[in-house]
C-alpha cells in the first residue's frame, strides 16, 4: 500500500506537524493559557471579590448552618431547593443559593424556568455581604473550551477541532522527534532556530504525558457533542433517546426521587449535623442542600470535603421529613470499562482532586503547553526569517505571522492582566461590570494585535516584542500596587495574616512581571546587538547587517491589504 520510503514518511509527518500546529496555534495558545488559569478558578474568583470575608476558623459549621438557614428562610421561603457552601477546601466564602421560578424569555413558550440566585454571607451575623459582580476565574476557565462571543456549541466544535489538530501535532511530533534523535549527529540546524527548537522540544517532551492526557481527555469531554454518530446509531436521534443512553451509563442513586406534590413539613438542615459529625468528624462538610423542599419526598444531601483518590469525597442523603439516613455513597460506580476510562481521563483533566502542590504542577504543565505552542509559532517564523534573510526578501505571509506572534503570545497575557485591572478599576455598581471585565480583556488583546501594524514603519519586530513585554511586565508588576490602593486584601495584610491564597495571587503576578521584564531585557540586548552591527558596518554593502535586521523599512511599508497567507 504505502510505497513511500522512511524518509518520505518523516518528511510528510514534519509537514503535517508544522501546519497542523500553525493552522490553529492562536486558539490552542488561548486554550492552554485560559485553561491553565482555570486550575485556579476559585482562587482567582476569591481575589476578584475582595469583599469576601476572611475565613474565621473559630466558627463551627453548625452555627454557620443556623445563620445560613435563617437567611434562606427570609429570602427564599418558597424555593424548592436550598444550597449552602461552606468556606472549606477551595471554597472561600459561606454562600447560599436557591432557584426561583421565573419567565426567563418569551421564546420559551412562556414556560416557567429556574433562575438561580446566590448570596455571600457574613460568618458572624449571617447577613448578606455585597460582593462585586465578576466573571472571576470561572469565565477564564469556561472560555478555554467554549471560547467567547459565540454560541457555546459552536465553541465546543471549534475547540474540539483544535484539540484534534493538537493530537495530530503530538503524534507527528513524537514521530519527528524520534527521527531527530536518531540523526542527532548528522543533523545540524542553524544556530538561531536551534535554540528555539530546543526550547520547543523541552516544553513538549518534558510534560508529554500531561499533553497527551490533557488533549485526549479534552476531546472526550465534548464527545457527546462532537461524536454523536455512534450514540445515534444505537439509540436513535433526538433528546429522548439521548437521555435513554445517559440513564444507561450513569448509575443513578435511587434516593433522588421526584416530587409527588404532597406537602410535608421538613426538618431543619442543621438538625442532621450531629449525625454527620459523628460519621465524618467536625467541620468536614463542603456543601449541604435540600431538594423537593416542602414535599413528602424532600431529602437533604451533604458532601464531604476533600477527595478520595481521583473521586470526590463521600456523600450522605437524609430523608428531610423524618431525618432518617437514606443513603451513604462512597465514590461513583462505573457501568463499563469504557465508562471507567472516560471517568478517569476527565477527572485527570479537571484535576479537582489535587492539593495545592499538584495543582501548581497542573498549572505549570498547562503553561508549558502554552509555551510549547508559542515556541512552535516562533520557530516557524524564525526558520522562514533565516531563509528570507539569505534571499534578502521576506514574504508578506512571514511578516504577517511575525507580527501576529507578538500580538498573540504577549498580547493575550496583557489582555488577562487588563481583565484583573478592570476588576479593580470598574466601579462596583457599574452596569454589567462582569461583562465589561471580559470586554476589556478582548479590547486590549485586539489592541496588542493591531499595535505591531500601527507602528510597523518606525519600529522593528524586536522592538515591538520589547514594547509588549514591557507593557506586560508593568501591568502584572503593578497589580499588587493597584490591589493595595483599592482594597484591604493587599500583600501588607494578607502576608501578615497568613492568607496564602490571596497573597499567592499577588506574589504570582510579581513573578510573572519579573519574567516579562527579563524577557524584555534580553530582547532589548538582542536588538542592540543588531543595531550595533548595523552601525559599525557599511549599511549599503554589508549584506549581513541587513539580514540581521528583523524588518527592513522596505518590507515594512508594504500595505497590509497585500498581505496574504
Q: Give the binding site for other proteins (CB under 8 A).
A: 1-4, 8-9, 12-13, 15-16, 164, 167-168, 171-172, 216, 219-220, 223-224, 227, 229-237, 245, 248-249, 335-339, 341-342, 345
User: Could you give the strand order of the β-sheet that contains 325-329, starting from the edge strand earlier in sequence?
Assistant: 128-129, 112-121, 94-103, 82-85, 285-291, 299-304, 315-319, 325-329
Kindly compute the dihedral angle of the four CA atoms of residues 277, 278, 281, 284, in this order, to the nearest 10 degrees: -30
Nearest to other proteins of 169, 480 (CB atom): 169
Helix (H) or strand (E) holding 503: helix 500-536
Distance, CA of 548 to CA of 385 (rounded, Å):
10
DSSP code for 481: H
Min CB(229)–other proteins separation in Å: 4
Of 341 and 500, nearer to other proteins (C-beta) is 341
**230 CB neighbour count, 10 Å cutoff:** 11
The closest of 121, 112, 140 to 41, measured between CA atoms, is 140
Choose between 2 and 322: whose C-beta lies nearer to other proteins: 2
Min dist. Cβ of residue 227 to other proteins (A): 5
Q: Which is nearer to other proteins, 17 or 197 (CB)?
A: 17
User: Which set of grid coordinates corresponds to residue 190?
Assistant: 542553524
CB of 393 to other proteins, least distance (A): 20
Nearest approach, Cβ of 394 to other proteins (angstroms)?
Answer: 20
Question: Which residue in the block uniquely carries the three cell numbers 542592540?
Answer: 528
Q: Looking at beta carbons only, is 159 or 468 nearer to other proteins? A: 159
Closest separation between CB of residue 307 and other proteins, Å? 23
Contacts of 55 (CB under 8 A, 6+ apart): 87, 92, 123
Which residues, including other chains, have CB under 8 Å from residue 345's CB and lie 6 or more apart? 213, 216, 217, 220
Least distance (Å) from other proteins to the CB of residue 387? 18
Shortest spacing between CB 389 and other proteins, in angstroms: 24
Q: Is 29 left (phi over 0), alpha (psi -120 to 50) or beta?
A: alpha
Torsion of Cα atoms, 407 then 18 then 159 then 402, to 10°: 10
Shortest Å, Cβ 336 to other proteins: 3
Q: Which is nearer to other proteins, 1 or 254 (CB)?
A: 1
The minimum distance between CB 39 and other proteins, in angstroms, equals 23
Give the nearer residue to other proteins in terms of CB position, either 372 or 471.
372
Three state DSSP letters for 86-123: CCCCCCCCEEEEEEEEEECCHHHCCCEEEEEEEEEECC
Please report the DSSP string for 183-225 in residue order: TTTT----HHHHHHHHHHHHHHHTTHHHHHHHHHHHHHHTHHH
Q: CB-wise, 206 or 227, nearer to other proteins?
A: 227
Q: Which is nearer to other proteins, 226 or 440 (CB)?
A: 226
- In whole angstroms, how close is the CB of 143 to other proteins at the nearest point? 22
Please say which residue, 219 or 413, places its beta carbon nearer to other proteins.
219
CA distances from 169 to 180, 215, 221, 433 (A): 16, 11, 19, 39
| Residue with the three cell numbers 439509540 | 235
Amino acid at each position: 500500500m504505502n510505497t513511500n520510503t522512511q524518509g518520505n514518511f518523516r518528511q510528510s509527518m514534519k509537514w503535517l506537524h508544522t501546519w497542523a500546529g500553525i493552522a490553529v496555534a492562536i486558539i490552542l495558545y488561548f486554550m492552554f493559557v485560559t485553561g491553565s488559569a482555570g486550575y485556579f478558578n476559585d482562587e482567582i474568583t476569591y481575589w476578584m471579590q475582595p469583599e469576601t470575608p476572611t475565613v474565621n476558623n473559630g466558627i463551627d459549621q453548625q452555627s454557620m448552618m443556623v445563620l445560613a438557614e435563617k437567611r434562606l428562610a427570609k429570602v427564599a421561603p418558597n424555593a424548592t431547593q436550598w444550597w449552602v457552601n461552606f468556606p472549606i477546601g477551595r471554597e472561600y466564602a459561606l454562600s447560599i443559593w436557591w432557584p426561583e421560578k421565573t419567565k426567563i424569555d418569551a421564546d420559551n413558550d412562556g414556560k416557567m424556568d429556574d433562575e438561580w440566585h446566590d448570596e455571600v454571607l457574613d460568618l458572624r451575623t449571617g447577613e448578606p455581604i455585597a460582593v462585586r459582580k465578576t466573571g472571576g476565574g470561572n469565565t477564564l476557565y469556561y472560555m478555554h473550551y467554549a471560547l467567547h462571543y459565540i454560541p457555546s456549541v459552536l465553541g465546543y466544535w471549534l475547540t474540539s477541532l483544535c484539540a484534534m489538530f493538537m493530537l495530530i501535532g503530538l503524534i507527528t511530533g513524537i514521530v519527528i522527534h524520534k527521527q531527530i534523535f536518531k540523526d542527532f549527529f548528522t543533523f545540524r540546524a542553524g544556530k538561531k532556530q536551534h535554540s528555539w527548537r530546543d526550547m520547543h522540544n523541552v516544553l513538549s517532551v518534558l510534560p508529554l504525558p500531561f499533553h497527551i492526557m490533557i488533549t485526549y481527555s479534552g476531546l472526550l469531554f465534548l464527545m457527546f457533542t462532537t461524536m454523536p454518530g455512534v450514540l445515534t446509531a444505537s439509540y436513535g436521534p433526538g433528546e429522548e433517546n439521548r437521555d435513554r443512553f445517559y440513564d444507561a451509563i450513569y448509575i443513578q442513586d435511587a434516593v433522588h426521587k421526584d416530587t409527588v406534590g404532597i406537602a410535608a413539613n421538613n426538618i431543619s438542615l442543621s438538625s442532621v449535623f450531629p449525625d454527620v459529625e459523628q460519621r465524618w468528624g467536625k467541620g468536614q462538610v463542603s456543601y449541604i442542600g435540600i431538594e423537593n423542599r416542602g414535599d413528602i419526598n424532600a431529602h437533604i444531601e451533604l458532601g464531604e470535603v476533600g477527595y478520595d483518590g481521583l473521586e470526590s469525597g463521600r456523600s450522605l442523603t437524609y430523608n428531610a421529613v423524618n431525618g432518617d439516613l437514606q443513603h451513604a455513597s462512597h465514590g461513583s460506580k462505573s457501568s463499563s470499562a469504557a465508562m471507567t476510562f472516560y471517568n478517569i481521563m476527565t477527572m485527570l483533566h479537571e484535576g479537582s482532586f489535587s492539593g495545592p502542590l499538584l495543582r501548581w504542577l497542573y498549572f505549570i504543565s498547562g503553561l508549558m503547553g502554552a509555551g510549547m505552542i508559542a515556541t512552535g509559532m516562533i520557530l516557524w517564523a524564525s526558520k522562514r526569517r533565516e531563509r528570507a534573510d539569505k534571499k534578502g526578501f521576506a514574504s508578506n505571509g512571514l511578516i504577517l505571522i511575525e507580527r501576529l506572534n507578538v500580538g498573540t503570545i504577549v498580547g493575550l497575557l496583557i489582555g488577562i492582566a487588563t481583565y484583573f485591572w478592570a476588576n479593580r478599576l470598574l466601579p462596583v455598581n457599574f452596569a454589567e461590570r462582569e461583562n465589561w471585565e471580559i470586554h476589556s480583556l478582548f479590547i486590549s488583546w485586539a489592541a496588542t494585535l493591531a499595535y505591531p501594524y500601527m507602528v510597523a514603519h518606525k519600529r522593528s519586530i524586536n522592538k515591538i516584542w520589547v514594547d509588549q513585554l514591557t507593557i506586560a511586565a508593568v501591568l502584572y508588576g503593578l497589580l499588587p500596587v493597584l490591589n493595595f490602593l483599592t482594597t484591604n486584601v493587599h500583600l501588607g495584610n494578607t502576608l501578615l495574616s497568613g492568607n496564602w491564597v490571596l497573597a499567592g495571587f499577588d506574589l504570582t503576578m510579581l513573578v510573572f512581571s519579573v519574567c516579562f521584564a527579563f524577557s524584555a531585557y534580553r530582547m532589548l540586548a538582542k536588538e542592540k546587538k543588531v543595531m550595533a552591527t548595523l552601525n559599525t558596518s557599511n549599511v549599503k554593502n554589508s549584506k549581513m547587517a541587513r539580514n540581521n535586521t528583523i524588518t527592513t523599512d522596505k518590507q515594512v511599508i508594504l500595505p497590509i491589504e497585500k498581505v496574504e497567507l
